[in-house]
Amino acid sequence: MYSRADLPLKLASAPFTFDSALAAGVSAKRLRGQDLVHVSKGLYRPLAWNFELEAAARVLSEVSPGAWISHVTAARLHCLVLPPWLSDSTELHLSKPKQFPPVRRKGVTAHTVIAGPDEIECVNGIRIATRSRTWLDLARRLSLPELVCLGDQLIRIPRPEFEGRSEPFDTLDGLRALVGRHPNLQGIVRAREALELMRVGADSAPESMLRLAMLDANLPEPDLQIALRPNDAASPTADLGYRHRRLAVQYDGDHHLAEAQRLSDRRRDKAFESAGWTVLVFTKDDAVNGFQAATAAIKRHLRSAWLDHAHAAGFAGSD
């Protein structure tokens, strides 16, 4: 019986291909050792290996020339925020052109698709669908709100000091062009619908969901990333709201629970309140029921503000 120590460290710690094993001096006989698992044609892994998505995708890409990692797998490797029911997915998806033979590998979901050269890239040695193509590939699987949230991530303006980039991953025009090149793709109708609902300015999926809930509740479409002082780069901002009604709406995620962030949030809200704005703050507890209570609170405020204005202008009747 062979021991794990007989293998080069690279092969003993992650999946590998038959060719890479031979190149490392490992014989075909050694590959039949009880400490290894023959996953599928040309593909092996250590028996004691704990699944790790990037390692699995890397070797799958290596053993599948001409194909590329796609769909949910690509979304996770690109660190896109997926809905909770997919956020921990270990699915392996592989796409290939029509002219290539079918991919039949245990544990791999294969797709035969048409994709342009600019829809595939190589990241850290892995051939993978771009973020934009991944968004399009998931149009069939995600709900419309989930697809809008994913798209909003691609077109949002990044913050260089935190993200190391200054340009969005794509633009609405870029995504529209991508959709236009694939009129027969499954899910294309939902992708077109999502494009009409996507907006630049949502910094998180819950912010997108809150905005969509406001639209579903027949509220006016809110402004996004509202600066209290528009010409001041240091101005505090509201996630969304209505400047003409002086209503600032904030969604505070879990990271806002940290003490330093809570103090910063309070200074932010105080600045708006001192300028005569009303500030409504919502959290993940409000997201549980689809922001129903949140949209009701926003409606109450807007109605109250309208009545106050009407009374001041003499338009409303007396009680």
pLDDT of residue 2: 44
CATH topology of domain 205-313: Endonuclease; Chain A (3.40.960)
Which three-class secondary structure string do you get for 15-41? CEEHHHHHHCCCCCCHHHCCCEEEEEC
Residue written as token pair 């633009």 = 171
pLDDT of residue 314: 58
Eight-class DSSP state of 13: S
pLDDT of residue 316: 52
pLDDT of residue 1: 41
| 216/70 Cα distance (integer angstroms) | 32
pLDDT of residue 132: 98
Half-sphere exposure for 258 (CA within 13 Å, toward CB): 4
- Reading the chain (319 residues) residue by residue, the pLDDT tens digits are 444 447 888 888 888 888 888 888 888 888 988 888 888 888 888 888 888 999 999 999 998 989 999 999 999 999 999 999 999 999 999 999 988 877 778 889 999 999 999 999 999 989 999 999 999 999 999 999 999 999 999 999 998 887 888 899 999 999 999 999 999 999 999 999 999 999 999 999 999 999 999 999 999 999 999 999 999 988 999 999 999 999 999 998 766 556 767 898 899 999 999 999 999 999 999 998 899 999 999 999 998 865 565 555 555 554 4
- Quickly count: other Cβ atoms within 10 Å of residue 295's Cβ: 20
| 139/11 Cα distance (integer angstroms) | 37
- Quickly count: other Cβ atoms within 10 Å of residue 168's Cβ: 15
pLDDT of residue 319: 47
The domain segmentation of the chain, as residue ranges, is: 4-50, 54-197, 205-313
Query: Looking at the chain, how many residues does it have?
Result: 319
3-state DSSP call for residue 122? strand
φ, ψ at 117 (rounded to 5°): -55, -30
Helix (H) / strand (E) element for 151: namely helix 144-155
Eight-class DSSP state of 117: G
Instruction: Measure the N-to-C terminal CA separation of the chain; round to a whole number of Å.
Output: 92
3-state DSSP call for residue 240? strand
216 token code pair = 């579903």
